[in-house]
Structure 1
Amino acid sequence: MTTLSTLAPHQAQDRLHELTVIDVRTPGEYAGGHIPGALNIPLDQLDRALPDIRSAAERAEILVVCASGARSENACRQLAEKGIHTATLAGGTGAWAAQGNDLDRPVACDVKSAWAMDRQVRLTAGSLVLTGLALGEFVHPAFRLLSAGVAGGLVFSAVTNTCGMAAMLAKLPYNRPRKADLDATLARLRSL
């Protein structure tokens, strides 16, 4: 089992000039505010970016970030399995901002930011539970199984520290990078 390296926000702040920061959130979340200089490579695009990340890791230490630290830990594990050592930011960009550090945000007219993934998951899960309960009350009691299934999924998500619903929502068009955006990010990564 690989031990994950973790940096606290104050440690990352002190070393930001020497780190290559990769933000694995969706493009919409990234647009909502990211660590200055962070490059957006969504978690589901890591395999495509692997050669460039490997090359960057040879030049500088890689710090992987997300909103809370869960997705970045997952990314660090995936990269470690490929022989690339990285570190994760404890508490993610939420902890970074909570300690008074700045977040870069694109000009409002340049990029429309999407809701944070955890907010999208809460809306979807809550909507499915309410739908299952309403249909179970007014159409057929079997629809309550939808609510039970969502509840079971949430428990599984908490126990395993993974989220299948987030993985599905990340595939929606507004959460996916345009090919040109990811290509531009990988070109920046190569030039660091």
Structure 2
Amino acid sequence: MTMKCIAPAEARDLIERGAKLIDIRARDEYAREHIPGAVNVPLAEIDRLDVGDCPVVFHCRSGARTEANAAQLAAATGAPCYMVEGGMDAWRRAGLAVKADRHQPLELMRQVQLVAGGLVLFGVVLGFLASPGFFALSAFVGSGLMFAGATGWCGMARLLRHMPWNRRMVA
């Protein structure tokens, strides 16, 4: 089964006629901001999706994740499948309703990007201003990111997940 790409307004019309809206982003992304009425089924859990023969509209943040996994998503349902072109970003630009909870923490991967980027920058600045030994901090963070990319295990993400500011999100 193939998946048709549709504009946000067309997706809204399908949903109003009974189609199920499935948000495939991670739980922390969904907790911070989502389309009202969307059901969160992260991509890693898509096998548990049960929609019957009801049409399904999938979306992510930008549409790239949905498009890259279109075959897997379509295979998870026995119903007609659609994807929101441009994802939630396009939905928001179209002026359609979005429910945001800015009290939720930033998405975990954004936190990793901010902390890793800050540590690399800090290591480079201190390497030039204080001692060349501080360049090792940047090398350590860079090697950690490479390890995370190669194995799928990120120590920084695991550490950040347990920080006090990340306790608000409901899993």
Q: Shorter chain as normaliser: what TM range?
A: 0.5 to 0.7
Normalized per residue, which structure has more helix? 1
Q: TM-score, normalised by structure 1?
A: 0.59
Q: Could you say which residue in structure 2 is the equivalent of 1:10?
A: 9
Native 8 Å contact 1:21 1:39 kept in 2: yes
Residue identity opposite 2:33 in structure 1: G
Q: Which moved more, 1:93-102 or 1:116-125?
A: 116-125
Match 1:69 to one of 59, 63, 73 = 63
The equivalent residue for 1:100 is 95
Q: What amino acid does structure 2 have at the position aligned with 1:90? A: E
**34-43 or 127-136: bigger deviation:** 127-136
SS at match of 2:44: helix
Deviation sequence 1:142-166 (CA, Å, 0-9, x none): 444346658989xx9xxxxxxx699
C-alpha RMSD of the superposition: 3.9
| 1:40 lines up with 2:31 in the alignment | no
Please give the alpha-carbon distance, in whole angstroms, between the structure 1 residues aligned to 2:108 and 2:70. Answer: 19
8 Å CA contact retained: 1:125, 1:150: no
Q: How does 1:85-164 map to 2 (within 5 A)?
A: 86-105=81-100, 112-116=103-107, 119-134=110-125, 136-137=127-128, 138=131, 139-146=133-140
Contact 1:64–1:76, Cα closer than 8 Å, also in 2? no
Aligned AA (2:10): Q
CA drift of 1:91 comes to 1.5
Cα distance per residue 1:60-83 (max 9 Å; x no partner): 121111221223334434334557
> Is 1:23 the equivalent of 2:23?
yes
Contact 1:24 1:75 in 2 (8 A): no
Letter paired with 1:32 = R
- Over the matched positions of the two proteins, sequence identity in percent amounts to 31
Pick the structure with greater CA Rg: 2
Structure 1 residues 68 and 133: alpha-carbon distance in aligned structure 2, compared to 1, 3 A threshold = same
Give SS of 2:22's match: strand
Match of 1:172 among 148, 161, 164: 161
Q: How many residues align?
A: 157
Offset at 1:44? 2.9
Tell me, in whole angstroms, the C-alpha distance in 2 between the residues paired with 1:125 and 1:60: 43
- Distance (whole Å) between structure 2 residues aligned to residue 83 and residue 102 of structure 1: 26
Contact in 2 for aligned 1:121/1:165 (Cα 8 Å): no
Q: Indicate the SS of the match to 1:59.
A: coil
Higher relative contact order (CA 8 A, sep 6+): 1
Q: Which sections of structure 1, spanning at least 5 residues, go unmatched?
A: 157-163, 179-192
Deviations 1:106-161 (A, max 9, x none): 6x8xxx422246643541342242244246443254444346658989xx9xxxxx
CA distance in 2, matches of 1:75, 1:132: 37
Q: 1:104 to 1:27 in 2, by over 3 A?
A: same
Cα distance in 2 for residues equivalent to 1:23 and 1:165 = 24
